[in-house]
Structure 1
Amino acid sequence: MSQSIAAHPDRLFPADPGVRKIARSLYSRVESLPILSPHGHVDAAVIEKNVPFPDPAALLVTPDHYVTRVMHAAGVSLDRLGMGGSPADSRQIWREFCAAWPLFEGTASGYWIRQEFEHVFGVREEPGQDTADRIFDAVSAKLAEPGFRPRELFKEFNIEVLATTDDPLDSLESHAALAADPAFASRVVPTFRPDAYLNIGHPQWQSNVERLLGSTRSGTPGYKGYIAALQERRHHFLDHGAVSADHGVRTPATVRLDEADAARLFERARAGTASAEDRDVFEAHMLYQMARMSVEDGLVMTIHPGSFRNHHAPTFEAFGADSGHDIPVAVNYTEAIRPLLQDFGTAKDFHLVLFTLDETVFSRELAPLAGFYPSVYIGAPWWFLDAPDAMLRFRAAVTETAGFSRTSGFIDDTRAFCSIPARHDTSRRIESAFLARLVAEHRISEDRAHEVIVDVVDSSPRRVFKL
């Protein structure tokens, strides 16, 4: 059998032999560094309880909208992939996936899955109709091994810090249990994610807010109680090791309302009479308030805007959210974020990490903003952009203006625990490739490049996320 392309030592490195040699040397400096994952969506309870992973289809196909959306575009109904509560025949779902494998050539998903097969599951056969059952059985056998559990893989993957994403009213019991467990040496930290409590267009906003108001120790009613309750919950997260608050907003618009105007909007929303304009203004005001709270309590603030959620209504109705049809939209950062930056852009120890799905703002807006405001850092490419060529475009677009030090370090943003090492390895190889080109073009010395690669991979996420 020929060598798997997933095992090739020069994968993702430049084709030019001389530049490739430099990239190899740079990669060797960071290949074995611990993984720092300051933003992701793995469930802490899975780690705490050391729950065995499910079957191959339930682990690698059904929950991964990167995978299911590609198959859906080719005509595979989502109910055939076990989504939306559909009856699931795992082996048949796996056969559907393997039959569709050619669709993934050239995609980031195809690259990651190949890496997982090779380096996590020890599977070197190419997926296809003829190999589907053999691969299913091989992966199933691996999943059944006693050592193939989340805690054991934490050690094998060399994960030092893993951040989860959590509801503001979560008890964080699993995080507390992990922190108190002397046998667990790594850190699993919660992330405050209040979107469903800030966006009055969210279908559960009213019920969420009533539960939030009921949780506050102050007993203060109305808008004041709402603000007080959010502050209390942020401190609950800080007490459980949180380092950041994440905000998945439609736009990065911010506005500062006086308290009376904010209270009126809040009460209209509770009564169900808020307009679409009210929704936009209130969300922008609350994003400003979240920045104010971050300045006070020290939580790093991350903003993930620019996604048209649930673009296809019939699919959303049948299969719910995160079913593959969240589509990027254009973003305006320079004007939208200005009210926030006027008051907090130079605040001491405030860290604001700005992400985007709109590549056009990398060089036009994000790099100049991060190149001036001490608080602003540029978030790594995420979602549709966390792919090899997009990562290279990102690095080329922002570095000439903002340098290397104003970026966040890699963010894997994943629910797929077994893909974490593949994603971080991808980033390390791409950063090595980019720096190697600068060295070959005599734009940076090789000695300095060796310092920069360590900073980008390890020091930057520690610095930006206060790890």
Structure 2
Amino acid sequence: MKKFLDDDFLLTNETARTLFHDYASKMPIIDYHCHIIPQEIAENRKFDNITQVWLGGDHYKWRVIRSCGVDEDLITGNKSSDREKFQKFAECLPKAIGNPVYHWTHLELRRYFGYDGVLNADTAEEVWNLCNKKLQEDGMSVRGLIKQSNVRAIATTDDPIDSLEWHQKLKDDPTFDVKVVPAWRPDKAMNINKPDFAEYMQKLAKVSDISIQTVEDVRTALAKRMEFFDSMGCRASDHGVDYLMYNPATEEELNAILKKGLNGQALTQDEIEKYKYAILLFVGRKYAKLGWVMELHYGALRSVNDRMFERVGPDSGFDCIATYCCADGAAKFLNELNNTGELPKTIIYPLNPTDNAMVGALIGCFQGTEAEGKLQQGSAWWFNDTKTGMIEQMTSLANLGVLGTFAGMLTDSRSFLSYTRHEYFRRILCNLIGTWVENGEYPDDIEYLGKMVQDISFNNTNRYFGFHV
């Protein structure tokens, strides 16, 4: 029997162990999509206790606790202490066998806090005291955690109306040499069906110094903000869309739809699609001019629990996987950009794993000379960044495309302890490749394979996004 989480965790053969220990583990990290707050990096925040850095904003852990029947006050509420919330997590964690949260939690305890035991109800007090003491050390501030994780670059997720003042402070700070850049997330400018759309467009108009009356005004405002983001080092956009669509419309139609949206009038699904498609097509063309990567995350049903949405708001763990079928819309959207030579480097992340093969086949239709793997299937995302989900995503990509050009892993996280997810990914990657080699499905060329896993771990991402770190 293997020891829990030993040095060869998830590495089941000699080739895998060599690839991980001698090659992948040594590579730095580029976190090209995350939700951490740049202000906390700029101010070099220190956390008072492990609950703040571990459970604050982490809906993965919240879902584990909720599944054990724990009252919301002991998860996200203000009536319980951080110590009480930590205790409940510790009590629930042992039940989460097979859940990556169990692995991530213990990887974080080992790598950042030097704790080799297991977290449960009985050890909670020991772990609480150990972690809180450790968090007071100089190297455990936000910047310290980033540096000890060997992170070279971070792309946050930022709204077009953001001033990017904290990114500017980081650019001006010579004491921190990790590149922190914004990533463009224009969802609010596209979500014409949302109740706060009109209010948001007023803010976009103000920050862009443009009166927004027509769709062309929207395009002009967004273009001005994209130029600003580009000047601040932005290398990528990110879109959270329900599904990828193709629904072209005339400018007259679009202006009529926008007018209804600005006036808070009800819109049909056809009208919503036409507006969203027009804006996505425009920004896609702009990304190509700027040399940005277009990231498309699709397939989530968001905030499906009305009662809990009213209580705790969005992005709190009440989302699930949708079953949208959008192969036709996605293909026609990419084709329209490609027809005019304005298809940017693009990463598509399907949330429904049944779409892995569809996306893997689709990206092969639009590759180009601008980059190896110009079109990418994104790493296993959200509900799929499990051991099984990562294996399925990489196996599908390898079956239908070229795994060696894969841009690799990201945290998609709000936690500064989540960089161990890169280690988790790299171990799974090396074991997958090692298994193929030891089964006689690929030559035992360790030097070439070592370079391949280093590329997938870091080098491909560095080249693809143009971080130059």
Q: Note the C-alpha offset of 1:173.
A: 1.1
CA contact (8 A) 1:68 1:78 kept: no
Specify which of 303, 312, 315 is matched with residue 319 of structure 1: 312
Residue 355 (structure 1) aligns with: 349
Q: Note the C-alpha offset of 1:21.
A: 0.6
Which segment drifts farther, 30-39 or 147-156?
A: 147-156
CA contact (8 A) 1:408 1:461 kept: yes
Query: How far apart in 2 are the matches of 1:356 and 1:369?
Result: 12
Corresponding letter in the other structure for 2:439: E
Q: Note the C-alpha offset of 1:340.
A: 1.9
How do residues 41-440 of structure 1 correspond to structure 2 at under 5 angstroms? Answer: 41-83=35-77, 86-219=78-211, 221-277=213-269, 278-345=271-338, 347=341, 350-363=344-357, 365-374=358-367, 375-420=374-419, 422-440=420-438
Residue 464 (structure 1) aligns with: 464
Query: How far apart in 2 are the matches of 1:316 and 1:32?
Result: 42
CA contact (8 A) 1:12 1:388 kept: no
SS in 2 for 1:418: coil
Q: Note the C-alpha offset of 1:339.
A: 2.7
Corresponding letter in the other structure for 1:177: K
Corresponding letter in the other structure for 2:228: H
Q: Note the C-alpha offset of 1:406.
A: 4.8
Q: Note the C-alpha offset of 1:129.
A: 2.1
Corresponding letter in the other structure for 2:460: S
Which segment drifts farther, 251-260 or 300-309?
A: 251-260
1:419 to 1:138, Cα distance in 2 relative to 1, 3 A: same
1:163 to 1:405, Cα distance in 2 relative to 1, 3 A: same
SS in 1 for 2:153: strand
Specify which of 13, 16, 20 is matched with residue 11 of structure 2: 13
Query: How far apart in 1 are the matches of 2:136 and 2:79?
Result: 23
- Structure 2 unaligned runs (5+)? 368-373
1:220 to 1:319, Cα distance in 2 relative to 1, 3 A: closer
CA contact (8 A) 1:175 1:188 kept: yes
- Normalising by structure 1, what TM-score? 0.93
SS in 1 for 2:403: coil
Query: How far apart in 1 are the matches of 2:177 and 2:443?
Result: 37
1:446 to 1:202, Cα distance in 2 relative to 1, 3 A: farther
Q: Deviations over 1:332-354 (max 9, x none)?
A: 34202123212223736720110
Query: How far apart in 2 are the matches of 1:103 and 1:464?
Result: 40
SS in 2 for 1:332: coil
1:313 to 1:276, Cα distance in 2 relative to 1, 3 A: farther
Q: Deviations over 1:143-163 (max 9, x none)?
A: 111221111222211100111
CA contact (8 A) 2:182 2:234 kept: yes
Residue 370 (structure 2) aligns with: none
Structure with larger RCO (C-alpha < 8 A, sep 6+): 2
- Structure 1 unaligned runs (5+)? 15-19
1:132 to 1:3, Cα distance in 2 relative to 1, 3 A: farther
CA contact (8 A) 1:291 1:340 kept: no
SS in 1 for 2:33: coil
Query: How far apart in 1 are the matches of 2:229 and 2:2?
Result: 47
**Count of residues paired in the alignment:** 456
Q: Note the C-alpha offset of 1:4.
A: 6.8
CA contact (8 A) 1:30 1:454 kept: yes
Query: How far apart in 1 are the matches of 2:167 and 2:56?
Result: 26
Query: How far apart in 1 are the matches of 2:232 and 2:343?
Result: 20
Query: How far apart in 2 are the matches of 1:292 and 1:176?
Result: 27
Residue 371 (structure 2) aligns with: none
CA contact (8 A) 1:255 1:339 kept: no
Q: Note the C-alpha offset of 1:50.
A: 0.3
Q: Deviations over 1:335-393 (max 9, x none)?
A: 02123212223736720110011111112x11111222124211111111111121111
CA contact (8 A) 1:295 1:350 kept: yes
CA contact (8 A) 1:330 1:358 kept: yes
Give aligned-pair identity as a percent.
Answer: 26
SS in 2 for 1:79: helix
Q: Deviations over 1:56-97 (max 9, x none)?
A: 2222124211011121122112222233xx223111111111
SS in 2 for 1:147: helix
